[in-house]
Amino acid sequence: MSRSLRPLLATAVIFAIAYGLSVMQFPGMFSTRVLGNFLTDNAFLGITAVGMTFVILSGGIDLSVGAVIGFTGVLVAVLISWMGLHPLVAFAIALIVAAVFGGLMGLAIHALEVPSFIVTLAGMFLARGGASVITQDSVPINHPFYDWISDLLIRLPGGGRLSFIGLLMIAVFVVGALVAHRTRFGSYVYALGGNTVSASLMGVPVARTTVAVYMLSSVLAALAGIVFSLYTSAGYPLAAVGVELDAISAVVIGGTLLAGGYGFVLGTFIGVMLLGLVQTYIIFDGTLSSWWTKIVIGVLLFLFIVLQRLIFAASAPGEKVAEKA
Amino acid sequence: MTRRMLGRLANPQLLALVGVLLINWLLFPSFFRVTWQDGRLFGSVIDVLNRGAPVAILSIGMVGVIATKGVDLSVGAVMAVAGAVAASLVVAGYPAPVAVIAALLVGLLCGLWNGFLVAVLDIQPIVATLVLMVAGRGIAQLITQGFIVTFNDPLLIFIGTGSFLGLPMATVIALVLLVLVTLLVRKTAIGLFIEAVGVNRAAASLAGIRSRMLLILVYALSGLCAAIAGIIVAGDIRGADANNAGLWLELDAILAVVIGGTSLLGGRFSVPLAVVGALIIQAMNTGILVSGFPPEFNLIVKAGMIILILLIQSPLATRIAPRRPQRARIGVQRTAK
């Protein structure tokens, strides 16, 4: 097994052990019903996390995704319920708006040579503020199309349901993994995260790739917003507050290096599942309060960051010599 | 001498603050009316000073962190933890000074933890402080057991809502901190060391600066400032709300520091201007509220402000309209493009 796959392996092993222990305590957790809900409940987080993986691989960060989810939910709800558009038209408009939004952020990051987190912070304020200006209340969506999609599911033996949005998340992960590991764009993203200067000297189109990465992240966040609106049948401007933190946590737990240039889309999937497992365990247990979720995620984050540190310190012994002086 | 003083006062941040205040005055003519009542001052301007104090205090701590090319995302969560500690101890019957000192120590501890991750384990600041940002609110809820712990302790309430020489206590605390920290970084070599580490940590270490110690110090200061802000906010609402105390204030604090002209790329910082930045943010908040606009516009105005600052500070703008040479930028990136 190649050394570079170790963090991915570590994540997978930790997930397997955690799941095994949970099943030993609550045999009910090993059922297609729980696994199906796992996918459905975490679909919007998973789709967001794929986009976040690309951004982090390219050496940046996108704080605006939670706000884009909220904004998309409101936009879709308003277009369907107030304007009377067909949901598919509304979805297309929302995705185009998000693509323009993300593209502009990428352009700003590249052209102004500023850290990505401050630009996406402005994007976060803008999207959240925009959603709140459109409406401050939850806008319900009642459309036959929504009922049709929520009935669209595959029944598994054992009472489990594989919902449309759960399958959509898996599809996004598969496509994301193929794009990251098998296309030219994917290698550009890795090169950018490794070292922008070298990437540019090697002929990587830095501007185009940066714009595309943030565009991708915003489009996937908008897709997550659509999924979230399917999940809740409503649009609410304060929906998905803090999802950017969950997405970043999932990416880091999945073994992607936050400095960029190293990581796997599949790892992010395991990261999302691990976050879902923590929540499901706390629900199953019943006596643990919800705040333990945050503490456990924080501890997991810490463990994985230290793990990465140790693995990369072992593989690059000469790197930090200057600072020891 | 007076000319130099005037030159110092004519910086973009102070002009922006005056501009925002003037717009507020146009929208709301009695904005500058200050009255004396019950031994303290009242008025919109005083309100700006009072409400802006928590973010100003956070930004005093954040300046040092950002000047070392870092960022502290955990300050909002640390505020919640400190408030929870202070409130829980007071409710459990401990004397208020003990509760305040314990809350400050907890904040300091959080800062030391961040500093340890950044300086000793060499983890990027944004990730290192993310750990506490996520876990901190959970810890605060653990301390308060998910409830909003309310209290009636006179000392804590005085810290949050009292007044000293007519000024709100929060403002006085912010002012004292501002003076102390400014003296610390400008009258000793510490400020220079922070700038050196921010520009190039390896070079600073080779030049004999104990960069590890220094990094731990700036994060510890940030944690301490967050704890002070947390106690003020808890005292203000007479309770510790683990969910909402300090929520998203880390972003306001970062914004205040950036408005204050501190470079996000490290190496150039100003504590007083960061406080001016915090006051600009609060003046806009208050202005939007008193002029009757819905508070949602706040976020959009803030976003517009970040974009404006980025445009002004960007190398692009420097190329189009060359200003005085920038100190701390190294031309590696530009030659490559």
SS (H, E, C) B134-181: HHHHHHHHHHHCCCCEECCCHHHHHHHHCEECCEEHHHHHHHHHHHHH
Q: Please indicate, yes or no, if residue A323 is contained in any of the structural domains.
A: no
A contact residues 66-85, partner B, Cβ 8 Å cutoff: none
Are B134 and A245 an interchain contact pair (Cβ–Cβ within 8 Å)?
yes
B206 interfaces chain A, CB cutoff of 8 Å:
yes
- Cβ-based contacts of B264 with chain A (< 8 Å): 114-115, 118
Q: Please indicate, yes or no, if residue A41 is contained in any of the structural domains.
A: yes
- How many whole angstroms separate alpha carbon A189 and alpha carbon B190? 39
- Cβ-based contacts of B130 with chain A (< 8 Å): 245, 248-249, 301
- How many whole angstroms separate alpha carbon A33 and alpha carbon A155? 10
Q: Please indicate, yes or no, if residue A101 is contained in any of the structural domains.
A: yes
Q: Please indicate, yes or no, if residue A114 is contained in any of the structural domains.
A: yes
Instruction: Note whether B57 and B177 are within 8 A (CB).
Output: yes
- What is the model's pLDDT at position B333? 39
Tell me the pLDDT tens digit for each residue of B287-333. Answer: 888 777 777 778 888 888 878 877 777 666 666 665 544 444 443 33
A95 interfaces chain B, CB cutoff of 8 Å:
no
Residue A232 pLDDT > 60, yes or no? yes
* b/e sequence B159-183, b meaning 16+ C-beta within 10 Å: bbbbbeeeebbbbbbbbebbeebbe
Q: Point out the residue among A122, A124, A291 whose CB comes nearest to the CB of B142.
A: A291
- How many whole angstroms separate alpha carbon A105 and alpha carbon A249? 22
Closest C-alpha among A167, A156, A160 to residue A39? A167
A291 interfaces chain B, CB cutoff of 8 Å:
yes
Looking at residue A186, which CATH number applies to its domain?
A: 1.10.3470
State which residues of chain B have pLDDT below 70: 1-10, 314-337
Handedness of CA A271, A277, A283, A285 (dihedral sign): negative
B313 interfaces chain A, CB cutoff of 8 Å:
yes
Cβ pairs bridging A and B (under 8 Å): 150
- What is the model's pLDDT at position A227? 92
Residue A294 pLDDT > 70, yes or no? yes
Which positions ≥6 away from B96 have C-beta within 8 Å?
A: B90, B153, B154, B155, B156
Residue A258 to chain B, least CA–CA distance (Å): 7
Share of chain A above pLDDT 70, in %: 94
Tokens of A32: 């297609």
Residue A174 pLDDT > 80, yes or no? yes
A181 interfaces chain B, CB cutoff of 8 Å:
no
- What is the model's pLDDT at position B145? 84
- What is the model's pLDDT at position B327? 45
Classified by CATH at the fold level, domain B44-315 comes out as ABC transporter involved in vitamin B12 uptake, BtuC (1.10.3470)
- How many whole angstroms separate alpha carbon B269 and alpha carbon B325? 16
Amino acid at A224: A
Q: First and final CA of chain A: distance in angstroms?
A: 35
ipTM of the complex: 0.78
Please give the tally of structural domains in chain A: 1
Taking residues A218-243, what's their average pLDDT? 89
Q: Please indicate, yes or no, if residue A324 is contained in any of the structural domains.
A: no
A202 interfaces chain B, CB cutoff of 8 Å:
no
A107 interfaces chain B, CB cutoff of 8 Å:
no
Domain of A249, in residue numbers: 3-316
Q: Please indicate, yes or no, if residue A325 is contained in any of the structural domains.
A: no
Are A294 and B134 an interchain contact pair (Cβ–Cβ within 8 Å)?
yes
The SS3 call for residue B240 is: strand
Which burial class, exposed, middle or buried, applies to A221 when counting CB atoms under 10 A from its CB (0-12, 13-18, 19+)?
A: buried
Q: Point out the residue among A114, A206, A325 whose CB comes nearest to the CB of B206.
A: A325
* Residue of chain B nearest A241, judged by CA positions: B248
pTM: 0.84
Tell me the pLDDT tens digit for each residue of A44-54. Answer: 999 999 999 99
Residue B150 to chain A, least CA–CA distance (Å): 19
- How many whole angstroms separate alpha carbon B120 and alpha carbon A75? 46
